[in-house]
Amino acid sequence: MAIEVRAEATPNPNAMKFTASEVLFEGTGSASFKKGDNPDHPLAKALLAIEGVDNIFGYQDFVTVNKEIDADWDTLLPKIEEAFNQQ
């Protein structure tokens, strides 16, 4: 079943916040992963596997995705949406 998610711009043009309709990261701590990490978290792993994603920060019902400087949101957004849909 796909996770409903809403994308929002942030003050950083290389970062976008994705708020989901359900808890993505359990517990009270945040999760932060960068390219090259191998997280146990399935969504984090899927997002980091996308070409152009540099790092992610997750907390409860949202995740912020930071792209590499030369990556393009128009290319990344469908792939990020697909990562959520596969969860």
Indicate if the pLDDT at residue 2 is higher than 90. no
Provide the CATH number for the domain formed by 5-85 in this structure.
Answer: 3.30.1370.70
Structure tokens belonging to residue 54: 């540099």
- State mean pLDDT over 24-46: 95
Q: Break the chain into its structural domains and give their ranges.
A: 5-85
pLDDT for the residue numbered 3: 79
pLDDT in the model for residue 1: 58
Q: Cα torsion for 51, 23, 15, 68, to the nearest 10°? A: -20
Q: What is the pTM of this model?
A: 0.94
Interatomic CA distance for residues 65 and 79, integer angstroms: 12
**Model confidence at 7, in pLDDT bands (50, 70, 90)?**
very high
Q: Per the structure block, which two tokens stand in for 81?
A: 């949406």
First to last CA, the chain: 7
Which residue in 82, 55, 87 sits closest to 71, CA to CA?
55
Residue 13 CA to residue 15 CA, distance in Å, equals 6
% of the chain beyond a pLDDT of 70: 98
